[in-house]
Structure 1
């Protein structure tokens, strides 16, 4: 009897995958928080397909390859990172765990990867970067919206640059928020006690308005390529990346306006439902980039094999959001570290089992695509 109780206790705490972390982390969140983090817009098509679209790709294993010295490291934004994964800017980390972005920053530094800091961070850019530096100085980027208050926008840029951020990630897919039924049904508001120091919003200000109305109050829907990119260039020496690109046309515009990179992203399925999954949008974006501009991807990455597939299809690096939220909800910094450790180990094993000894060796030759009418199609 005693042995059975021990076995049950151990099995409840075993976290082996991001799916496990999602399940157990989500259990610890009340409904309004869980739905805010996990849901997308309207019918949830895009948020679902972001993950499931990876499943049509198959891995072409190579055998009898010496992978004993396989290296996962790569260079992103001038920084050597431990593997081609970074943490996307996502707001309200402190709604998942009180340590919020501070815990995330320490977890990223411990794993040796970059972190994006959201304008909706519950801690200041200075504090988040300092928390990471207490472990290791790897690097951070600052996410930014186009704001009606240009003076506030400029203050954020100056603070981020002074604190040591390497780039601005301009979120370009949000002239308005997507139709998020769950937020409206739950009358979602930022919980009491949490603030947004980067956009200078106190807890009292936030609790007085819904998330949607608060966003509309400060965000500008008049943004444009011709206005935003030159405006940013005049105010910072940081790299300028465009986040939210899904088409070849916008990659070409990013090249035309001298941007440093693009992140293929659909906002985690939270904006326009029915857009393509990011892994499906990636190939045309890589082709349009033609090696003249860097291409990263986020959205739906749940396994190390997903990272491998995105790199094989031409992404330089992948970014994750929700897995870190689930890790924080599950066990704070330790949970966030667990998420990164899982993905690192899965990616390492995937590389070795496909016979790749470096990131440079990962290519379309490593993938096939499932066909309904016959054998696996090579890419």
Structure 2
């Protein structure tokens, strides 16, 4: 039986919801508590309207950009999302192959079901970053950093916004996250892996206080800088105050992110806080964003508001559920094509043309 023709990211989500088991659907799609943040991440993009310019030569468009000095073909990166073998047997390897085919970057999760080494071997020419948590004991993080360096990963993405786990009701109602016995998490030492999860508040069967670290402070950033020469990007920045602290700690970049609304409900949508954060950092660090990106016009809007590039997580999961590597590649291709179309119809022939002047917030419409 042939697969249905899918034309947008929402189609892939619909397919995944219809074909994955309820535990996987709940785990990947749910948000914290009432899921207001999940919904607002999408609604906030819709509150920005594009102001296109006309009679611009857009017959040829250059979508390429650079991140930390590395060129990519378009400003859409695969963000860190764990346990991808739940939806396809090749998991993160398939996602990395898709990123390589599309000449963009993948950020591999600490909670990947494929190892740093497997991903590196499968996609040696792909630009790869590694997402990291600071563990207790810190020797665990040191080991992962060394493995990332040896495997040719080019940056570390330190996730900051999960000091403790949020409450995801949908996941509870589905019976909690269950790691199938045939899967394992190769970046977690065996001593951290518990028995099959019985408590839905406990992620991946490992003790939550060891996984995340509620006692961490900005000192951990300096510590991480002291053990590696890899560029460090801080993921989970939502306020100008924390963005300024990131600049003070001389990191390479920040990701404006609310973790896809998965841990704290009623936080600000990332697209709405992005402009102020870009303003205060004054170009001293590269600024990326995630949470809620589903269309090429979303990408256009994020770049207009100052993002260097965007990360997508859930859309790649949906693509993997549809057809593994090919499905993930299709999702990236759709987003790339939609972004190119948005550029052309807005009067932009290169990424550098995309400025804030091309956007208007709906609150300004009444003033016209």
Match of residue 164 from structure 1: 152
Identify which of 116, 123, 126 aligns with 2:107. 116
1:119-138 correspondence to structure 2 within 5 Å:
119-133=110-124, 137-138=125-126
Q: Select between 273-282 and 284-293 the one with higher mean Cα deviation.
A: 284-293
Q: Distance in 2 between matches of 1:127 and 1:360?
A: 36
Q: Distance in 2 between matches of 1:328 and 1:202?
A: 30
Identify which of 220, 226, 232 aligns with 1:228. 220
Distance of aligned partners of 1:178 and 1:208 in 2 relative to their CA distance in 1, 3 Å threshold = closer
Q: Distance in 1 between matches of 2:160 and 2:331?
A: 28
1:44-193 correspondence to structure 2 within 5 Å:
44-133=35-124, 137-185=125-173, 186-193=175-182
> Which runs of 4 or more aligned residues in structure 1 lie more than 6 Å from their structure 2 counterparts after TM superposition?
none
**Unaligned regions of 5+ residues in structure 1, if any?**
1-8
Q: Distance in 2 between matches of 1:121 and 1:52?
A: 30
Measured after TM superposition, the shift of residue 176 of structure 1 is 0.2
1:294-313 correspondence to structure 2 within 5 Å:
294-313=286-305
Q: Secondary structure at the match of 2:227?
A: coil
Q: Distance in 2 between matches of 1:81 and 1:343?
A: 15
Measured after TM superposition, the shift of residue 184 of structure 1 is 2.6
1:56–1:369 Cα contact (<8 Å) kept: yes
Q: Does 1:365 align with 2:357?
A: yes
Please report the RMSD computed on the Cα atoms of aligned residues, expressed in angstroms.
1.8
**Unaligned regions of 5+ residues in structure 2, if any?**
none
1:88–1:117 Cα contact (<8 Å) kept: yes
1:195–1:201 Cα contact (<8 Å) kept: no
State TM-score, norm by structure 2: 0.95
Measured after TM superposition, the shift of residue 90 of structure 1 is 0.8
Measured after TM superposition, the shift of residue 183 of structure 1 is 2.7
1:79–1:138 Cα contact (<8 Å) kept: no
Q: Secondary structure at the match of 2:123?
A: helix
Q: Secondary structure at the match of 1:212?
A: coil
Q: Distance in 1 between matches of 2:87 and 2:122?
A: 18
1:189–1:210 Cα contact (<8 Å) kept: no
Identify which of 262, 269, 278 aligns with 1:277. 269
1:315-326 correspondence to structure 2 within 5 Å:
315-326=307-318
Q: Distance in 1 between matches of 2:281 and 2:179?
A: 38
Q: Secondary structure at the match of 1:61?
A: coil
Measured after TM superposition, the shift of residue 127 of structure 1 is 0.7
2:172–2:200 Cα contact (<8 Å) kept: no
Distance of aligned partners of 1:230 and 1:202 in 2 relative to their CA distance in 1, 3 Å threshold = closer
Measured after TM superposition, the shift of residue 17 of structure 1 is 0.3
2:179–2:197 Cα contact (<8 Å) kept: no
Aligned length: 363
1:20-31 correspondence to structure 2 within 5 Å:
20-31=11-22
Q: Select between 364-373 and 140-149 the one with higher mean Cα deviation.
A: 364-373
State TM-score, norm by structure 1: 0.92
Q: Does 1:207 align with 2:196?
A: yes
Measured after TM superposition, the shift of residue 211 of structure 1 is 5.9
Q: Select between 148-157 and 365-374 the one with higher mean Cα deviation.
A: 365-374
1:77–1:166 Cα contact (<8 Å) kept: no
Distance of aligned partners of 1:320 and 1:215 in 2 relative to their CA distance in 1, 3 Å threshold = farther
Measured after TM superposition, the shift of residue 106 of structure 1 is 0.2
